[in-house]
Structure 1
Amino acid sequence: MKIKVLGPGCKNCINLEKNTRAALAELGMEADVEKVTDYGEIAGYGVMKTPGLVIDEEVVLSGKVASAAEVADLLRAATK
């Protein structure tokens, strides 16, 4: 599984990455987590409000910081 956290490195982006890593740990899942800070690449995903979360090249979240529990739900849905 490949996960990308999209954003320029702001506090919200950092918190989303932290919550994503916490959700992975809670679920006992392993994934490559990458931070994407390039505005062109972020826009390429169609994300205009950061932070954004991409799981296996599918945008699953944009414009808000999801809690670890919300990210865990997104991860479970992505593995079905």
Structure 2
Amino acid sequence: MKIDILGTGCAKCRALEENVKKAVAQSGKFAQVEKVEDITKIMEYGVMSTPGLVIDGKVVSVGKVLSVDEIVKLLG
């Protein structure tokens, strides 16, 4: 599983990154977590508002910080 966190480094982006790491640990699943800060790459996903969350190439959240529980549900 590959998870991309889209954001330029703002507080919300960092908060989402922390929640993703906690959710992955809680779920017990193996996931490669990557922070994408390049605005061009972020725009390639069609994301205009950060933070964005991408799981296996699919944008699942834009513009908000999901809770750990919400992310665990998305991880399935």
Same fold by TM-score, threshold 0.5 exceeded?
yes
Give secondary structure in 2 for the equivalent of 1:22: helix
> TM-score under structure 1 normalisation?
0.93
1:49 is matched by which residue type in structure 2? S
Q: Alpha-carbon deviation of 1:19?
A: 0.4
Kindly provide the CA deviation profile for residues 3-33 of structure 1, in whole angstroms up to 9, marking residues without a partner as x: 0000001110111010001111111111110
1:10 aligns with 2:10: yes
1:1-80 residue pairs with structure 2 within 5 A?
1-76=1-76
Kindly provide the CA deviation profile for residues 28-67 of structure 1, in whole angstroms up to 9, marking residues without a partner as x: 1111100000111001001000000000000000000000
Q: Structure 2 unaligned runs (5+)? A: none
Q: Structure 1 unaligned runs (5+)? A: none
> TM-score under structure 2 normalisation?
0.97
Give secondary structure in 1 for the equivalent of 2:73: helix
1:40 is matched by which residue type in structure 2? T
